[in-house]
Amino acid sequence: MPEIVFVDDVLVRIRNRGGKQYDEKAYLFLLAAIEYLQCKLDRRRHVTAAELCWACRDMALERFGLLSRTVLDCWGLTSTADFGRIVYTLVDVSLLSTQTGDREEDFHGVYDFRSAFDESYALGWAPEA
């Protein structure tokens, strides 16, 4: 992921918002996941919470492989609800926007991190008996 440095003012606004705090890389990851998803679409458009959550999973697995869940956990991301909190923080500081009907709760329970990251990498090989 290219290193993007947040403007100090944006970081201060994010930190002053309160609530759960995430590593700066978590915010950058979410922004990169939006672009990752948009590049896979036929045309740029508003994306749903579920689409963004699955894009986060796919991008993490591509970039971090078996360490995906560990990396995300180090940044404070342990569930899809965390993606929603970050998105809505970025909305609050005017880096993203929503459409009518979008809710932070749309990010809750999209998938279980353990299943999505660990079980998707289950090896197909088993030792002979």
The per-residue pLDDT string of the chain (129 residues; one tens digit each, 9 = 90 and over) reads 444 555 567 777 888 887 778 998 999 999 999 999 999 999 999 999 999 999 999 999 999 999 999 999 999 999 999 999 999 999 998 889 999 999 999 999 999 999 998 876 655 555 555
Length of the chain: 129
Q: How far apart are CA 73 and CA 70, in angstroms?
A: 5
Q: Is residue 27 part of a domain?
A: yes
Q: Tell whether 114 is covered by a domain.
A: yes
Q: Is residue 66 part of a domain?
A: yes
Does residue 1 lie in a domain region?
no
Q: Assess if residue 4 is contained within a domain.
A: no
Distance CA 104, CA 85 (A): 7
Is residue 127 in a domain?
no
Residue 32 is classified by DSSP as H
Q: What total of structural domains would you count in the chain? A: 1
Kindly report whether the global pTM for this prediction surpasses the value 0.75.
yes
Q: Is residue 86 part of a domain?
A: yes
Residue ranges making up the domain that contains 105: 23-119
Is 72 within 8 Å of 78 (Cβ atoms)? yes
What value, to the nearest 5°, has the Cα angle with vertex 104 and ends 61 and 36?
30
